[in-house]
Structure 1
Amino acid sequence: MITLYSYPGLFGLEDNNPFGLKVFAFLKLSGLPFEHRHVIDTSVAPRGQLPYLVDDDATIGDSDSIVAHLKRRYALTLDDPLTPLQHDLDLLVRRTLDDLYWVMSYSRWRDDRYWPLFRAALLAALPDADPDVLEHARQYNFERYRYQGIGRYEPDDAYARGIGDLQAVTNLLADGPFMFGATPASIDAAVYGFVANILFYDIDTPLKRFVVAQARLVEHCHAMRERMGQSRSP
């Protein structure tokens, strides 16, 4: 039995964290049956991070490691048609999305213009959430941003970095709707996890304004949702 542990959903998405939504999308694309459990406490998670996956006797953390485990254990063929160059592009896009993560997180927890709206959305979605715990989490994130580096950026410079990441992904989508043509690969689950958490994010950040204006990114989200058996929008 496969069980995915990830953060709670928000704005109609199954996880408000892009890495958890990435794994959710990969599982849906692969057709593997699984149970999805939403948690906040990361104390028992590998490396103290979500998402993580329990697959019978195996517990795997890190979204890339989870995808690799599932592909290996269940002989999934999603990426078999990819050329060596496409496998390299898959890696480069995932690393670009790792960079984008910090800007997305900054827009939610750090930017004083959007934090009150994000905080209100979390409290509405999670009635048992403690406002003091959220404030503690915010201060903890400030430290993470400072050590990672994005916390030393002025807001406009931070968003320019994230928009640069999004522009590169947009350019690679070409005629799509998926990264490598008409059929989704595992990289499309990663792109969806990030872009959907911007496109369907009900707060008008610079990242959202950019994504909404990119027809390729919007169509990718809609096409992914259709492949997962969902409506085009949450």
Structure 2
Amino acid sequence: MLELVTLPPAFGMRNVSPFCLKIEMLLTALEVPFTASEEANPGKAPKGKLPYLVAEGQTIADSELIAEYLDGITDGRVYRGMTSQQKAHGVALTRLAEDHLYWMVVASRWLDDAWWPNVVSGFFHIAPKPVRPLVAGLARRQVRQTFNLQGLGRHTLKEQKEFAARDLQALEDAVPESGFLFGETPNIFDFTIAGMMAGAYDNQPATWITGLALGYKKLHAYTERVQETIGVYGRALDSSEA
């Protein structure tokens, strides 16, 4: 039995990480049996990030490497039916979502002074109260440094919002009015986009990314459609949705 290790719930999200949500969707779609467990401290995970998969005595860290592993054990089902052009298109959208837009989602939580208390309560409640501000502050400093090294952190907030809007427009233009990226059933690239956007739309309380994202109606409907089809949602469902 495979074990998927993810972050615990936070910010109204049952699955707060887009990378964790993507792999949970993929495992569910492939109908590969797995158990799920949580790790609140990414520092304890291989490579210092989540998710990771425990499989047959080995640990696979990083969502893309997990997808490749699952492709191997399912006889190529992760990418089955895609042309080389479709896969190239999917990889390009993945890089846009996970290596660019993602960092502005992170910044909208971690680096917004007004929103920062939610990060402290959502992620650092496990730290002893006397050292909680210190631990949280150190982590925030690392996020800020990474954001600057990535390059987006060197721009003004206005410029960051403009970058985010262009990313969101690209995704809005890329996703279909109905169905999914490459057919009638969602695939790994649908899970990538929907996993990223679920947090942007359903994050509680709303961040500045949420406000921007809500303007992209086709993308929002698509994100809901992927989650509903697989039956795996990023947000914590209320009684009317469950």
TM-score by length of 1: 0.89
Q: Which amino acid aligns with 2:101?
A: L
Alpha-carbon distance between aligned partners in 2 of 1:101 and 1:19, rounded to the nearest angstrom: 10
Alpha-carbon distance between aligned partners in 1 of 2:195 and 2:110, rounded to the nearest angstrom: 19
Which deviates further from its counterpart, 140-149 or 98-107? 140-149
Find the partner of 1:211 among 210, 213, 218: 213
Q: Which amino acid aligns with 1:47?
A: K
Corresponding residue for 1:184?
186
Corresponding residue for 1:101?
102
Do the aligned partners of 1:173 and 1:179 also contact (CA within 8 Å) in 2?
yes
Identity of aligned residues (%): 28
TM-score by length of 2: 0.86
3-state SS of paired residue (2:42): coil
Q: Which amino acid aligns with 1:189?
A: F
State the Cα RMSD in Å. 2.2
For residues 21-32 of structure 1, the aligned pairs below 5 Å read: 21-32=21-32
Corresponding residue for 1:128?
126
Q: Flag structure 1 segments of 5+ consecutive residues without an equivalent.
A: none
Alpha-carbon distance between aligned partners in 2 of 1:24 and 1:72, rounded to the nearest angstrom: 17
For residues 28-177 of structure 1, the aligned pairs below 5 Å read: 28-97=28-97, 98-120=99-121, 122=122, 127-130=125-128, 131-132=132-133, 133-177=135-179
Runs of 4+ in 1 over 4 A off after TM superposition: 230-233
* Cα-to-partner distance string for 1:111-154 (whole Å, 9 max, x where unaligned): 2232234434x16xx75345322222112212212222222111
Alpha-carbon distance between aligned partners in 1 of 2:178 and 2:13, rounded to the nearest angstrom: 23
Do the aligned partners of 2:195 and 2:234 also contact (CA within 8 Å) in 1?
no
- CA 1:29 to 1:14, structure 2 compared with 1: closer, same or farther past 3 Å? farther
Q: Flag structure 2 segments of 5+ consecutive residues without an equivalent.
A: 238-242
3-state SS of paired residue (2:54): strand
Alpha-carbon distance between aligned partners in 2 of 1:18 and 1:93, rounded to the nearest angstrom: 14
3-state SS of paired residue (2:3): strand
Alpha-carbon distance between aligned partners in 2 of 1:118 and 1:44, rounded to the nearest angstrom: 19
3-state SS of paired residue (1:221): helix
* Cα-to-partner distance string for 1:11-51 (whole Å, 9 max, x where unaligned): 44332121111111211221111111111333443322211
Instruction: Tell me how many residue pairs correspond in the alignment.
Output: 231
Alignment pair present for 1:198 and 2:196: no
- CA 1:146 to 1:208, structure 2 compared with 1: closer, same or farther past 3 Å? same
